[in-house]
Structure 1
């Protein structure tokens, strides 16, 4: 199956690409649709951007809303999850002494975002240490709730963590935050197309996710979701044609007839809308190729590879399987120069995979997508065995 699916992708054949989680990889048909939109724009830019764009932007909103379980007026396109979360972080009315509750597993760019906000507002970041290995929902939820105080104004969580590839069971913590009047802000950068999402059921106040990773749309396509009750809290990062002076009034409309939440964020000067317009093509590609079944195969391969490496290293996993991201796993390795291992894996073995130090652990973060194979997992394990001085790995049972 992997060899057959690999033909759909533009990845270099001389590289073993095991890092889909960082930037994704766009299938050929989806990339062709992306270039088609770009060509159409260039053929008549004024018509496309000046007269057609507002209507064109509705289609990806609706397609994504249907996929993610939310209303099409509660979701808006942004360049990436980081930009969407910056809109939220820099809009919320925080004051000196207010607390932003988060975990020790967050993405570094967002750690910097909240640090910037705290410098501007006088708010404070409170970091909860999540006990490892993560083996139960209560273990996670109890740790989060224990960190909540009367000063907690924001709960900021990753749904799937970047450094540790953990799938956090966020729903009970979000419900408790709502009960206490705490804004919940969720970094879902890795979740769309990775797990089945129902944003209305999750119930977060704000949720941002990338489409360019596991949904496999072009780079520059992501979304911000906000519950209708909190949309008026948001200000765009760029004030442009979509903004109106009455945008905070009850029932206000944006400059182009949608809500201020939609118009102020969507219409921010000249940009290339092709990545966002291609989201329906990415969803169609996934449907035509039964990608949830592909994801199940990838999950099994990722877990089997992690199990095999764990047998070689003797190091415990960071979580039980149900709290590991389905197609991504952070695999502990013995103490080493992670930068040198990363460099050598690519230069000597042509393997593209993140290797880094997280807290007191050395980590290899494996992503498995439909274009990967058992043979590539064998290559990775053989390379790590040589570089780390491990006992030679057995070949996988599949081949």
Structure 2
């Protein structure tokens, strides 16, 4: 079976010709780093060429630099349900979350409430901050399989105490590809005066967002994953009432001593925006290409594309489940729409990952989470039914199903 057979179909049916991915690979791992469409990558390169053609003019706030950064914020804010004053571009979600986490004034005994499904880099960030401040990280267990919103909300709220200062949740989890129904937990945290910090690494372009309406205090998400912007593009959102709490990890041109008091930055934006955006010499081309990624999605009716991908991802997961007899980690509504962690029988996960690549050219994550052995499937507009057939057949062969 040729896994690329359907790639000869019209672009309206499959968008593989518009991507730069290696045609020899069966790429089922969009969730890790994304994949940038050719037109968006070309826009990214145009910004880089503009930078190199006249670096002094490019970085001059009076000759368009500030306006270019703001234009990207305006375009993205419209897709996130907020305004340009509430977001700022960062290189990745981990950086955005570190800016917030390391700025919070925590004291000994303060509790950070989180779940057992969080991304390891952020678990390390909280451990680092807890060691410095004397705060305590408290982890709640999310019941699996996750079948009802109430089960998630009950577990999280049960972990809240009078010492809870921060609620930290993934919106879509990395290890288990679950779409957490965070809204009720966030609302309860706000009612109790608990700050909410949300890891949205996988959400922009994957699920609709309305950040202002959601009521979160801090939210960071990647643009290079499901929004399909170039690598190095992400955002940090901070609710206006909380922006005075945030300082950059690096103090540079956009910071002023009195900016927090006045709210004003030296480059015509708020202190929050200027202090984070104006960080000296760096290549912002990936961030400046975010509007092109948004336009690409609109031009190709990505709502319809995403729905086809959602159906294909879940149908493939159910095919594997029928072979293994292992139940999914959640009901379909709590699985990330285009990404699903599929349980497989106990196996050496590194061996399975390597064999899938060596024998079938399948690029897909395989890992262990608690007592679950998981193959995390991502389906994007360039993937095909034939590739799903190949994955199912490969797992059947390697696992002797």
Give TM-score scaled by structure 1 length. Answer: 0.97
Preserved contact between residue 263 and residue 272 of structure 2 (Cα < 8 Å): no
Mapped pair 1:43 → 2:53: yes
Q: Secondary structure at the match of 1:7?
A: helix
Mapped pair 1:366 → 2:392: no
CA shift, 1:110, in A, is: 0.4
Residue 142 of structure 2 corresponds to 130
CA shift, 1:236, in A, is: 0.3
- 1:32-181 to 2 correspondences below 5 Å: 32-50=42-60, 51-181=63-193
For 1:8 and 1:233, locate their aligned partners in 2 and report how far apart those are by CA, in whole Å: 42
Structure 2: which 5+ residue stretches go unaligned? 1-5
Q: Please, which of 17, 33, 48 is the counterpart of residue 7 of structure 1?
A: 17
Q: How many equivalent pairs are there?
A: 389
Q: Secondary structure at the match of 2:64?
A: helix
CA shift, 1:348, in A, is: 1.4
For 2:191 and 2:368, locate their aligned partners in 1 and report how far apart those are by CA, in whole Å: 37
For 1:288 and 1:178, locate their aligned partners in 2 and report how far apart those are by CA, in whole Å: 38
CA shift, 1:52, in A, is: 2.4
For 2:115 and 2:345, locate their aligned partners in 1 and report how far apart those are by CA, in whole Å: 25
Preserved contact between residue 93 and residue 201 of structure 2 (Cα < 8 Å): yes
Residue 393 of structure 1 corresponds to none
Mapped pair 1:258 → 2:269: yes
- 1:14-29 to 2 correspondences below 5 Å: 14-29=24-39
For 2:34 and 2:283, locate their aligned partners in 1 and report how far apart those are by CA, in whole Å: 19
Residue 3 of structure 2 corresponds to none
For 2:75 and 2:258, locate their aligned partners in 1 and report how far apart those are by CA, in whole Å: 29
Deviations 1:226-273 (A, max 9, x none): 100000000100000000000221x33112121011001001111001
For 2:28 and 2:102, locate their aligned partners in 1 and report how far apart those are by CA, in whole Å: 34
Mapped pair 1:222 → 2:234: yes
Residue 206 of structure 1 corresponds to 218
Structure 1: which 5+ residue stretches go unaligned? 391-399
Q: Secondary structure at the match of 2:259?
A: coil
Deviations 1:296-353 (A, max 9, x none): 0000000000000000000011000000000000000000000010011111110000
For 2:120 and 2:362, locate their aligned partners in 1 and report how far apart those are by CA, in whole Å: 24
For 1:80 and 1:22, locate their aligned partners in 2 and report how far apart those are by CA, in whole Å: 12
CA shift, 1:55, in A, is: 1.4
Preserved contact between residue 171 and residue 179 of structure 2 (Cα < 8 Å): yes
Residue 324 of structure 1 corresponds to 335
For 1:272 and 1:52, locate their aligned partners in 2 and report how far apart those are by CA, in whole Å: 15
Give TM-score scaled by structure 2 length. Answer: 0.96
For 1:272 and 1:100, locate their aligned partners in 2 and report how far apart those are by CA, in whole Å: 34
Q: Please, which of 324, 332, 344 is the counterpart of residue 333 of structure 1?
A: 344
Residue 378 of structure 1 corresponds to 389
Preserved contact between residue 177 and residue 340 of structure 2 (Cα < 8 Å): yes
For 2:371 and 2:24, locate their aligned partners in 1 and report how far apart those are by CA, in whole Å: 33
- 1:200-349 to 2 correspondences below 5 Å: 200-249=212-261, 251-349=262-360
CA shift, 1:292, in A, is: 1.0
For 1:53 and 1:356, locate their aligned partners in 2 and report how far apart those are by CA, in whole Å: 43
Q: Secondary structure at the match of 1:57?
A: helix
Larger mean CA deviation between 219-228 and 42-51 belongs to 42-51
What is the alpha-carbon root mean square deviation over aligned residues?
Answer: 0.8
For 1:228 and 1:379, locate their aligned partners in 2 and report how far apart those are by CA, in whole Å: 49
For 1:140 and 1:201, locate their aligned partners in 2 and report how far apart those are by CA, in whole Å: 20
Residue 351 of structure 1 corresponds to 362
Deviations 1:352-387 (A, max 9, x none): 000011111100000000000000001011111111
Preserved contact between residue 177 and residue 335 of structure 2 (Cα < 8 Å): yes
